[in-house]
Amino acid sequence: MQHHTMLEVISRRAIEERVAALGRQISQDYTGGDLVLMAVLGGAFVFAADLCRSITIDCCIDFVRVASYGAGTASTGSIRLVQAPALEVSGRDILVVEDIVDTGLTLQWLLQYFHQQKAGSVRLCTLVDKKERRQVPLEADYVGFTLNHGFLVGYSLDFAERYRNLPAIYTLQDAAS
Ligand code: 5GP
């Protein structure tokens, strides 16, 4: 198995502090609402697990999985839903919890999907916002960190399904980005 050289870019401590702050903000903003955290598998499962525990209001948690056709490290924009939400979406306040917004194509597709499902409101919370390669004008409502360079792994971000278990976020020094 190949081992990659990694550089830590966001520490475990920095992630904890930022996720706690996001949780406080989301709790304030959704007080009195019908919040459903909609985590996008598999890259956001650790983020969603920590975020939901920093949210102090009543909420539900559900999961979707999408696949983008084509190979490589950037999305092609051709998206399909591999796992649909289990919960009723109609009329509810959907907060999509994503790992990274890069080109924005995946999220644009997902936001449209939840609008079509007649969600009461649809917003986006992303752990990392990478604005440099954005192809559609999409702004996340809640952003953990803004980072433009490198291919990130750790904290459920993978490279070929590896490194999701690392507690901090790293850039791979020897992988294409
Ligand atoms: P996009 O916004 O380009 O449609 O796609 C975003 C998705 O591409 C993310 O959810 C993530 O799965 C993947 N992605 C983009 N940049 C990175 C990165 O630096 N590291 C990892 N592991 N995945 C990335």
pLDDT tens digits along 84-107:
999 999 999 999 999 999 999 999
C-alpha span between 62 and 85 (Å, rounded): 6
Q: Is the pLDDT of residue 50 over 50?
A: yes
Which of 62, 43, 81 has its CA nearest to residue 161? 43
Q: Which atom of ligand 1 approaches the CA of 102 most closely? A: 2
What is the identity of the amino acid at 146? T
CA of 48 to the centre of ligand 1 (A): 16
**Ligand 1 probe mutation, 38, 40, 41, 75, most atoms within 8 A of CB:** 75
Which of 29, 164, 145 has its CA nearest to residue 95? 29
157 lines ligand 1 (CB under 6 A): yes
- Marked catalytic residue, from 102, 129, 158, 174: 102
Question: CA angle at residue 169 from 176 to 42, to 5 degrees?
Answer: 80
Residue 123 exposure: Cα atoms within 13 Å on the Cβ side: 16
* pLDDT at site 72: 58
* pLDDT at site 19: 98
Averaged over 117-127, what is the pLDDT? 98
Which of 88, 139, 132 has its CA nearest to residue 114? 88
Q: Answer for the pair 62, 85: CB distance below 8 angstroms, yes or no.
A: yes
What are the phi and psi torsion angles at 106 (to 5°)?
-60, -45
Q: Name the pLDDT band for 174 (thresholds 50, 70, 90).
A: confident
H helices within 30-101, ranges in order?
Answer: 45-53
- Helix, strand, or coil (residue 78): coil
Which of 106, 104, 102 has its CA nearest to residue 148? 102
Averaged over 147-151, what is the pLDDT? 89
Averaged over 23-41, what is the pLDDT? 98
pTM for this entry: 0.93
DSSP 90-135: BTSEEEEEEEEESSSHHHHHHHHHHHHTTBSEEEEEEEEE--TT--
43 lines ligand 1 (CB under 6 A): yes
- 141 is an active site residue: no
126 lines ligand 1 (CB under 6 A): no
* pLDDT at site 75: 59
* pLDDT at site 109: 94
Q: Which atom of ligand 1 approaches the CA of 106 most closely? A: 4
- Helix, strand, or coil (residue 145): strand
